[in-house]
Chain A
Amino acid sequence: MLLNIKDLHVSIDGKEILKGCNLGVNNGEVHAIMGPNGTGKSTLAAAITGREGYDITSGEIIYKGQDISELSPDIRANEGIFLSFQYPVEIPGVSITNFMRTAINAQREYRGEQPIAAGEFLKKMEEKKKLVDIQSKLTNRSVNEGFSGGEKKKNEIFQMAMLEPTFAVLDETDSGLDIDALKVVANGVNALRSENNAFVVITHYQRLLDYIVPDFVHVMYDGKIVKSGGKGLANELEEKGYDWIKEHVQNG
C-alpha cells in the first residue's frame, strides 16, 4: 500500500479535528473525498503534508512503508507527496519560473542528482505549460500574485506536472474553475496517472469526478471517514445531500 492512514487523531490548538481517520491508497488508484464543510478534509491534507500546528495525538501515517509523521514538509515533498492547495498562497517577488527551478533542484539534490540543465528545464516548462494551458505571461509573474481563482488552481496543477509526485492530494482544485478549465485540469491529472502513483481528490462536486474517474469515493464527517464506496456514491450524494449520512452516523 502506498499510503495507509490508521486511526489518525489530529488536534489544532488542543482542539481535536480528526477523530480516528482511516484511509488506504494503493498505487494506480484515485480516491475522492467528499463531505460537508468543516469536517476535516483539508486538515487531513495538512497532516499528510506535515504542516506545523497540526498535532498528531495518536494514529499513524504510513507512506511507502514508513511512518512519516516526524518528517519535515520538504522531506515528505521530496519523497513524492504533493498538495494542490485549496487556497494557494501569494508570494510576491518570487517568479514561478524561479520557484520551480529551485523546487526541482531541491528534489534532485535530495535524490543525489545534479541540478537540472537550463535547456532541459525550459523544455520541461514549455511541455507542462501546454499540458495545463497556462500562458508564459503567467509563469513570469510572481507566484499567485494577483492571479484569478482559476489561474491559481491551474498553477497548482502546473506545479504538480513539473514535480511529478508519487502521491498527490488535490484539495478542491475544481472550485472556481470554469467548464473548460475544469477539463484542462482533469486532462492534466489524467495524463499524469500511472501504475506508479496515486491521487486523492477532495471535492464538493460530482462533476469533477466525471472527468477524473475515481476508484473509490469516501465521505468525511466529523473528523472520520464514515462511508466509502465506488463512483456511484458520488452520484448518490449529489442527489440526496448529506443528511442521510448524518443520520446514518448518528444512528451508529
Chain B
Amino acid sequence: MSDNKNKIFPLETSLKNSYMDKTKPLNHAKSGSNAIEHKKVTNSRLNGYNIFDKTGLPTPVIEQWRSTNITKDYKENYLIGDNKPKFDKQINEIFHCSVHGFDTNVFALLNGWYYSTPDKVLQTLDNGIIVGSLAVAQQKYPDLFDDYYNEIARPDSHGFNAINAAIFTDGLFIYVPDNVKSDKAVQLIKMVNRDDNIMINTRNLIILGENSRLSFLHCDDSINQHKGLLATNTEIFLKKDAQLDLYKLQNLNNNTTLVNSTFVKQDANSNLNVNVLTFNGGIIRNEFTIDLTEEGANADISGMYLMDDKQHVDNQVKVIHSAPNCTSSELFKGVLDDHASGVFNGYIYVARDAQQTMAFQKNANILMTSTASIDTMPFLEIYADDVKCSHGATVGQLDNDALFYLMQRGIKESDAKLLLMYAFVTEVTNKIGIDALRNSVDDMVKKRLRGDLSICDKCILQCSTPDLPVEFEIDMSKI
C-alpha cells in the first residue's frame, strides 16, 4: 500500500479530480439533473470518496490483488463517466437478440446510463415486478433505499468499490414483490459505444421479496474495440424462500477491463443459483460475497471461462455461512490457452453457530499451453464442528487417451481437442436452467473454442445464430 501511495497514477488523479465538487455528484453533473438524491446514496458517495482518498486503486501489493495486476490501465487517460446519452435509437437498433424461444424483458444501460424513453424509465411489469433506473428509483421508492441501499456493499473492500460508491452514474433497480414468480427472465444489456477510453461505474440493486422468483441475465458487451474500464457493484437481497437464477455473460473486447462485485444477503430457505460465463475480455474480475444469514439458505455458484491470447480472468468467491443448515457449492471450470492467465480464489467461512453446514468447492482447469497459467487458492475458515466441507482444485492438460480415442474414430485433432474442451465445461453450462439459453450458450462455447465468436457489433447473443455450420451443434440426444 505504501508503494502505491508514492506512485501517482493518472487514473487515480483524474478520479480524485472528478469528485472535487462534492456539492454536485458526478452523475448529476453529467445528467444535468438537479433532483435531490436519497440521503443514503449521498452519504455513501461521501463515504466512498473518503475511503478512496486513503486507499487509491488496488495494486498487487494487496493480497487479494496479488495475481491480478491492472496497474497498466491506471497509467492510461480515461474519460470518467459519460454524459447521459439521448434516447435517439431504439434498443433493438443497437442490439438485437435473436435467440429463438428465448423471450426476455430487456433493459439496457448505455455508457453507464439507463437507456429508455422517459415513460419507461421505471416500469411496473404485468406480473408486478418493478424494474428501471436506479437513479430514478431512489426518488420513487425511498423506503426501499432506506432498508437496502448500501447495506451489504463494501466500499472499504478496495478502491474500485470505494470509487464505485462515490461516482456511479446509474444502474438497474429490480424489486420483485412477495410471492411473485416470474417466468420471463429479466435481461440487462450493458453496452459501451463511446469512441474514447472510458471508465464507467454502475450500480445495481435487486430485491426479491418473500417466496418470489426471478431469472436475471446480466450481459456485459463491448460493441467496439475501444478501451474500457468497467466497474459495477450489485447488491442482491433474497428474502425468505426467494429464488434468484443469475446468469452473467461476459463477452468484452481484449482492451477492456471489467471489475464487478456482487454482494448477496440470503434469508431463510432462499436459493441462489449463479452461472458466470466468461467468453472474452482483457481483464475480468468477478467478485462474489454471499452471506447465508438464516437457516436453510442455499447458494450454488458456478462459472466457466474460456480465455486465450493475453486475457486474464479472476473469480473471487466468498461464501459466509452465518446460520446453521445452509448449503453452498462452487464449481468453476475453465480452459486457458496461449498466454492467458486465471485466478480462482474460493473462500468459505463457517461461523461457530453454523452447524450442519454443507459447503463444497471445486475448481478445475485445462491449460492448453505451457505459457498459460492459473492461480487457484481455496481457503476454508471453519469455526463450527458439525460441518461437511470439501474443496478441490485441479490443473491439467487434455486427456491424451481420450484424444486418441476420438481421433481413432476419424475426428481430426483440432476438432477432437475442441470436443474435449467443450465437454470439459458442460458440467457448468448444463446447470443453466433455461433451455433456450443453455442451447445458445452451448453454441457460443463451440464458436468461442473454434475461434469464431467475435465481439459482435450487436448483442453477444446474436452470435448464436449459426451463420456458419457449427459442428456437433445439435445435441441429437435431445431429439
Contacts and interface: CB of A to CB of B under 8 A. Distances in A.
A147 interface: no
A203 B180 CA distance: 65
Contacts of B401: 89
Contacts of B381: none
Contacts of B420: 91, 94
Interface stretch (B222-230, B251-259, B290-298, B422-430): B422-430
Interface string A71-89: 0111001100011010011
Contacts of B20: none
A98 B405 contact: no
B407 A93 contact: no
B90 interface: no
Interface in B398-430: 399-402, 404-413, 415-416, 419-420, 422-427
Contacts of B405: 85, 88-89, 91, 143
Contacts of B406: 91, 99, 103
A49 to B, nearest CB: 6
Interface stretch (B268-276, B304-312, B342-350, B467-475): B467-475
A179 B351 CA distance: 58
A72 B404 CA distance: 10
A74 B424 contact: no
B2 interface: no
A165 B453 CA distance: 36
Nearest to B422: A93
B475 A98 contact: yes
A101 B407 contact: no
A139 interface: yes
Interface in B221-265: none
Highest count of chain A CB atoms <10 Å: which of B402, B408, B415, B427: B408
Contact of A73 (B408, B422, B426, B471): B408
B419 A139 contact: no
A52 B471 contact: no
Given A74-B413, A89-B401, A105-B471, A97 B476 contact: yes
Contacts of B6: none
Nearest to A90: B402
Most buried by A among B401, B405, B416: B405
B35 interface: no
A118 interface: yes
- For chain A, which range describes its interface: under 10, 10 to 19, 20 to 34, or 35 or more residues? 35 or more
A102 interface: yes
Contacts of B402: 89-91
Nearest to A103: B409
Interface in A90-128: 90-99, 101-103, 105-107, 110, 115, 118, 121-122
A57 interface: no
Contacts of A101: 472, 476
Contacts of A102: 411, 415, 419, 471-472
A2 interface: no
B472 A122 contact: no
Contact of B400 (A52, A91, A118): A52
A93 B409 contact: no
Which of A94, A95, A96, A97 neighbours the largest number of chain B CB atoms within 10 Å of its CB?
A: A94
Interface string A50-84: 01100000000000000000001110011000110
B423 A91 contact: yes
Given A51-B404, A93-B423, A118 B476 contact: yes
Contacts of B409: 77, 99, 103, 106, 159, 163
Contacts of B423: 91-94, 142
A148 interface: no
Contacts of A139: 477
B59 to A, nearest CB: 39
B419 A121 contact: no
Nearest to B474: A118
Most buried by B among A82, A89, A118: A89
A99 to B, nearest CB: 7
B477 A103 contact: no
A38 B267 CA distance: 62
Contacts of B411: 74, 102-103, 106
Q: Tell which of A73, A122, A139, A142 has the most Cβ of chain B within 10 Å.
A: A73
Interface in A128-184: 139-140, 142-143, 159, 163
Given A52-B404, A74-B407, 6 more contacts: A74-B416, A83-B408, A93-B426, A93-B427, A95-B477, A118-B476
